[in-house]
Chains A and B, each alone.
Chain A
Amino acid sequence: MGHGKVITITSGKGGVGKTTVTANLSTALAMAGYKVVAIDADIGLRNLDVVMGLENRIVYDLVDVVEGRCRLNQAMIKDKRLEGLSMIPAAQTRDKNAISPTDMVLVCDQLREEVDYIVIDSPAGIERGFQNALAPADQVIIVTNPEVSAVRDADRIIGMIEAEEKGPGKLIINRYKPDMVARGDMLSIEDIVDILHIDIIGIIPEDEKILISTNRGQPLVMQNGHAKETGVAIRNIANRVKGDEIPFIDLAVKDGFMSRLRGWVTS
């Protein structure tokens, strides 16, 4: 088996930012010089291709690979803007049972030979596709928002990941608003860690530039200069995925949680 590592991005609740994270994390890893392939495992609800701006170049998809209509390499769309980055799209119209967890493990084992990181955009929990995305994972990252229903559903999915012996997962808190936290109107990082008992691998602020970059089909981390804080937050996640220990300075300082956060992350 190759050296490539499979990272699955999932969530309990839908719409919390999995696709955004998958696109940006894959891009950030490729910018750091790694070979990366992002896979859209959300069969029937394809959207990683548009978020990454690769929708016009799709010829084959994941189901075509699994059903033997094309070779794996033919379904990998190379990102011309960034050396080392490619993406395998989900099938848009076929039924969700077209792919099994075993298929995903086989596809990923092949990819491990060729790339350093395989980042899978999973559907939200309980759906069938979730099992597919989980099966090949070496590391599971759960995305949540600082909001009651999203945290509740994250708890459920964390339990399922542990039940499948794919734990411990790591958490990304997305759409974080330090000013609201300071006013006592948003769950803090500390509150969420206290409730979920899980390591944090990233905190991404709420940032309208995420939507703007999605409009353009250009993952935010690709743009230099603008969107500084959010770009740093995402690059930090990429560095932590690589195994670096990066303190949570950017947002945490504002909350005065930095020292405690360090403790959680290294614990």
Chain B
Amino acid sequence: MNIFEKLFGSSETSASSAKNRLKMVLVHDRNDISPGVLRQIRDDIIGVFAHHLNIDPDAVEVMLDENDNDNMLVAQVPLTPTRRVRTNH
């Protein structure tokens, strides 16, 4: 997907959206990555990050993505907004 297609997703032809969706589905199929496996990975990631940082477990997302020809696992772990710590002098 080029930047143009990302910006104007709606102009994508139905054939190229079929192709992109197929590619993603096949990454799951070929690697035998079930929703259960992804859920487990997500839980593990939440465990690791929550140990060190302030995160919102519900906002964590784990998914497969594709970049050129590489498939990758992408995890998004948003930090919970925190107030600046004020130091008084």
Whether the pair A187, B29 counts as a contact (CB closer than 8 A) is no
Considering the chains assembled together, what is the distance between the CA atoms of A181 and B19 in angstroms?
Answer: 12
Whether the pair B15, A184 counts as a contact (CB closer than 8 A) is yes
Whether the pair A156, B16 counts as a contact (CB closer than 8 A) is no
Interface assignment of B88: CB less than 8 Å from any CB of chain A: no
Q: Could you tell me the distance in whole angstroms from the C-beta of B88 to the nearest C-beta in chain A?
A: 61
Q: Could you tell me the distance in whole angstroms from the C-beta of B66 to the nearest C-beta in chain A?
A: 12
Interface flags, A156-197, vs B, CB<8A=1, else 0: 100100000000000000000000010111111001001100
Whether the pair B19, A195 counts as a contact (CB closer than 8 A) is yes
Considering the chains assembled together, what is the distance between the CA atoms of A147 and B21 in angstroms?
Answer: 11
Q: Could you tell me the distance in whole angstroms from the C-beta of B16 to the nearest C-beta in chain A?
A: 7
What chain B residues lie within 8 Å of A159 (beta carbons)? Answer: 30
Whether the pair B15, A155 counts as a contact (CB closer than 8 A) is no
Main secondary structure of the interface of B (DSSP, over half): helix
Whether the pair A195, B15 counts as a contact (CB closer than 8 A) is no
Whether the pair B15, A186 counts as a contact (CB closer than 8 A) is yes
Which of B22, B23, B26 has the most chain A CB atoms inside 10 A of its CB? B22
**Contact-residue size bin, chain B (C-beta under 8 Å from the other chain):** 10 to 19
Interface assignment of A151: CB less than 8 Å from any CB of chain B: yes
Interface assignment of A211: CB less than 8 Å from any CB of chain B: no
Q: Could you tell me the distance in whole angstroms from the C-beta of B53 to the nearest C-beta in chain A?
A: 38
Do A152 and B13 form a contact, CB below 8 Å, given A187-B18, A187-B19?
A: no
Within 8 A of B (CB), among A127-163: 147-148, 151-152, 155-156, 159
Of the residues B14, B18, B29, contact of A156 by C-beta under 8 Å: B29
Interface assignment of B25: CB less than 8 Å from any CB of chain A: yes
Of the residues A147, A148, A185, A195, contact of B13 by C-beta under 8 Å: A185
Whether the pair B14, A184 counts as a contact (CB closer than 8 A) is yes
Considering the chains assembled together, what is the distance between the CA atoms of A187 and B18 in angstroms?
Answer: 7
Whether the pair B22, A185 counts as a contact (CB closer than 8 A) is no
Q: Could you tell me the distance in whole angstroms from the C-beta of B31 to the nearest C-beta in chain A?
A: 12
Q: Could you tell me the distance in whole angstroms from the C-beta of B19 to the nearest C-beta in chain A?
A: 5
Nearest A residue (CB) for B23? A195
Nearest B residue (CB) for A190? B19
Whether the pair A184, B16 counts as a contact (CB closer than 8 A) is yes
Whether the pair A188, B26 counts as a contact (CB closer than 8 A) is no
Whether the pair B18, A155 counts as a contact (CB closer than 8 A) is no
Whether the pair B21, A155 counts as a contact (CB closer than 8 A) is no
What chain B residues lie within 8 Å of A181 (beta carbons)? Answer: 15
Considering the chains assembled together, what is the distance between the CA atoms of A66 and B35 in angstroms?
Answer: 43
Q: Could you tell me the distance in whole angstroms from the C-beta of A146 to the nearest C-beta in chain B?
A: 9
Q: Could you tell me the distance in whole angstroms from the C-beta of B63 to the nearest C-beta in chain A?
A: 18
What chain B residues lie within 8 Å of A187 (beta carbons)? Answer: 15, 18-19, 22
Nearest A residue (CB) for B12? A184
What chain B residues lie within 8 Å of A151 (beta carbons)? Answer: 22
17 example contacts (A-B, Cβ-Cβ < 8 A) are as follows A148-B18, A152-B26, A152-B29, A155-B29, A155-B30, A183-B13, A184-B16, A185-B13, A185-B14, A186-B15, A187-B15, A187-B19, A187-B22, A191-B18, A194-B19, A195-B19, A195-B26
Given contacts A147-B18, A151-B22, A195-B22, 17 further A-B contacts (CB under 8 A): A148-B18, A148-B21, A148-B22, A152-B22, A152-B29, A155-B29, A156-B29, A183-B13, A184-B13, A184-B15, A184-B16, A185-B15, A187-B15, A187-B18, A187-B19, A191-B15, A191-B18
